[in-house]
Amino acid sequence: MDTEKHSELRMWAVVLAVVGGLVLVGALFGPPLLKESVTALNAGVGLKDAALGSFVVTVALFIVFAIAAGDGLIGELQFMLAGFFLFFVIITLLIAWVF
**Which pLDDT value is given to residue 53?**
85
Phi-psi bin for 70: left (phi > 0), alpha (psi -120 to 50), beta? left
Name which residue leads in pLDDT, 52 or 74: 52
Q: What is the reported pTM? A: 0.46
Neighbour count for residue 65 (Cβ, 10 Å): 16
% of the chain residues with pLDDT over 90: 7
**Which pLDDT value is given to residue 34?**
74
- Mean pLDDT over 43-59 rounds to 81
